[in-house]
Amino acid sequence: MKVLAITQARYGSTRLPAKILKEVNGQPLLEIHLRRILQAKSIDKLKIATTDEEGSKYIVEVANKVGVDYFKGSVDDVLSRFYDTAVPEKPDYVIRLTSDCPLIDPNVIDAVVNYAIEHPEYDYVRTQAASFPDGLDTEVMKFSALEKAYKEATLKSEREHVTAYIWKNGSADGGTIYKTYNFPNPAGEYNANDYRITIDEPEDFQVIKTLIENLGIEKDWKTYIDYLIAHKELYAINSKFANNEGYAKSVANDGVYIKK
C-alpha cells in the first residue's frame, strides 16, 4: 500500500503574487507547509506539482531545501499536472493538498487517510467543507479514481480544479460515478467553517503572520482557531472573504451551472 501526497504550488497568483513564498520569521510559507505535511504518519512520499513558469525556480529552491521531489507541468490544466506528478510513483492512494494552506494539520491528514484506507468502498474522501476551517483542505482518492477523472473530465473548471470531476460525480453530492464521503470535523463544538487559515488575500497573510509569530509553527489547528476566537480583531481581518472563489469563477467561465 503506497500513499502519495501531492501539493499544488505555483508562483503566479492574481490576488496575492508569490503568496506561498512570503516569509514569516525568515521561513517561506511554502517551507512551513511542506514541513507540517511531512509530520503526517500516513504518507509514504510527498511531491510538489508545480508549473513551467519562470517563477517556479523559487519553488524548486524550497523543495530542494526541504528534500521534496517535484514535477513541472501545465499552468491551466492542473488535473493533467497533478496526474503526471503521480504516475511515476505508482501509488494506491493519492492525497491532494494545496500550498495556500501553510498551517495544514498533519493530524487531519492522517485522520482522512486512515478513514479512506479503512473504508475501501470509497473512491474519494475529503474534509467536510462545512465543518473544517478553510486552510485544512485534505482530499484522499484512489489512484484509479484520479486516472478516471484525468481521462474523462472535459470542462475547463474540471481541468483547473483537480478533483471537481470526482466530487461532482460522487455519491456524497448526488452523483453515481464515484462512491465518496465528506469527512466531518470530530471537534463538533467548533463552527469551524467561519474561520480562515488559508492564504489567498493580503489580509490572509496578516492573519497567518500573526498566528505564527504568536504561536509558532508546531501547533494543531484547534490552537490556531482558539487564538482567533479569543482575538476577534484578528479574526475580523479576513472573515469577509468567501471560500472557493477560484472555483466559482471557473464554473462561471464554463457557462454551465454546477452544483457545489
First to last CA, the chain: 31
Identify the CA nearest to 208 among candidates 193, 218, 200, 197.
197
Amino acid at 256: V
Per-residue pLDDT at 256:
46
- H helix intervals, 38-88: 56-66, 78-86
Q: Give the distance from CA 215 to its chain's centroid.
A: 22
What's the CA gap between 258 and 260, in Å, rounded?
A: 6
SS3 74: coil
pLDDT value, residue 245: 54
Nearest to 122 by CA among 182, 184, 183, 180: 180
Cβ-contact 258, 247 below 8 angstroms:
no
pTM of the shown model: 0.91
Domains in the chain and their CATH numbers? 3-251 (3.90.550.10)
- What is the residue-level pLDDT of the chain in tens, covering all 260 positions? 999 999 999 998 767 879 999 999 999 999 999 999 999 999 999 999 999 998 999 999 999 999 999 999 999 999 999 999 999 999 999 999 999 999 999 999 999 999 999 999 999 999 999 889 999 999 999 999 999 999 999 999 999 999 999 999 999 999 999 999 999 998 776 667 789 999 999 999 999 999 999 999 999 999 999 999 999 999 999 999 876 555 445 455 554 434 33
- 95 forms beta bridges with 5, 140
Cell of 200: 489567498
Q: At which residue does the C-alpha cell 506528478 appear? A: 85
